[in-house]
Amino acid sequence: MAITLLESAKLSQNTLKRGVATTFVQNASVLQMMPFMDIVGNAYTYNEEKTLPGVAFRGVNEGYEESTGTVNPKTESLVILGGDADTDKYIAQTRSNINDQRAVQTALKTKALAFQFQDSFFNGDTATNAKSFDGLKKRLTGGQVINADTNGLSIGTDTVSMNRFMEALDALIYQVQGKADALFMDSKTLLKVKSIARQLGYFDNTVDAFGRSVFAYDGVPFFEAGETVDGSKVIGHEETQGEATNTTSIYAVKFGADEFVSGLTNGGVQVYDIGELESKPAYRTRIEFYTGIGIFNGKSAARLKGLIV
């Protein structure tokens, strides 16, 4: 069975775990729509569809010419993402009349974990951090990476550039098989796209997993990719496209367990109340997430790069 972390949280009977999972999703937009497959063991082997077998019409008493499809066997290993949140006993005792200090620290730790997961979803690179997983920026190749223009495309400067951008956006959405479910970009880019949509009459809205209104185009919702733990942008504006060094990207993703882009986990988000430590007078809460991602179809996601905003 594969469900989103938010749906999993609703089913949990553990109040602490339910609260952590909800906070996790609230701070990482990719988690709103991405299902997680609960796997056995620490890795998942699957076949990525490459080419389909041939089919044909036949006449009476004729046979078929046998053919088979081709697949790329892949294995995704789970990684361990987590952290400890400590609260000094003195703080818990003297300040909990204002806030539950352990809850505050747990929420901050969960937010940091969400930021880290989302950053890895786009920018993860096992060549840089072998303990993480590869993200879309590294995985997407060939026709799934669309160049807006040779030396970058400035969008929103005039009607011509706005229409060129919308054409590139259409190409991005439909480069994903079956049409993308969501588009992810930096907040600066999202504001510019909204402005273009208003001027050209394409503005529309839908709602996210929490019932909040979000901008959409052609029925596809737009989401901010957010920030990293250190406050920098997950999708920045320092990418190089030809002679331009100030470009950014938009990612289109289609989610689906065992079919498109899916999360992998063994046990979901785990929350442990360690209690009081022997080494120091503090209470500890530990959060761990055995996780990874699988891209079951080479056309599950695409990237539009070379945008100057």
- Every domain range in the chain assigned CATH 3.30.1930: 141-257+299-308
DSSP 179: -
- CA angle centred on 255, ends 36 and 73, rounded to 5°: 75
pLDDT value at 130 more than 90 = yes
- Return the closest-CA partner of residue 282 out of 101, 82, 107: 101
pLDDT on residue 1? 61
pLDDT value at 203 more than 90 = no
Q: Average pLDDT, whole number, for the chain?
A: 90
pLDDT on residue 95? 82
pLDDT value at 129 more than 90 = yes
pLDDT on residue 298? 87
- Every domain range in the chain assigned CATH 3.30.2400: 2-48+72-134+269-295
H or E segment to which residue 172 belongs: helix 159-175
pLDDT on residue 167? 93
Give domain 2-48+72-134+269-295's CATH number out of 3.30.450, 3.30.2400, 1.10.3110, 3.10.310.
3.30.2400
The helix-helix angle for 101-123 and 15-26 (nearest 10°) equals: 50
- Return the closest-CA partner of residue 76 out of 288, 256, 291, 268: 291
- Phi and psi of 292, rounded to 5°? -175, 180
Architecture of the domain made up of 141-257+299-308: 2-Layer Sandwich (3.30)
What confidence tier does 127 reach under pLDDT thresholds 50, 70, 90?
A: very high
Dig out the tokens for 247 from the structure.
């470009």
What confidence tier does 125 reach under pLDDT thresholds 50, 70, 90?
A: very high
pLDDT value at 13 more than 80 = no
What confidence tier does 184 reach under pLDDT thresholds 50, 70, 90?
A: very high
The residue type at 121: F
Rounded to an integer, what distance in angstroms lies between the CA atom of residue 299 and that of residue 8? Answer: 27
What confidence tier does 24 reach under pLDDT thresholds 50, 70, 90?
A: confident
Rounded to an integer, what distance in angstroms lies between the CA atom of residue 309 and that of residue 295? Answer: 29
Map residue 21 onto helix, strand or coil: helix
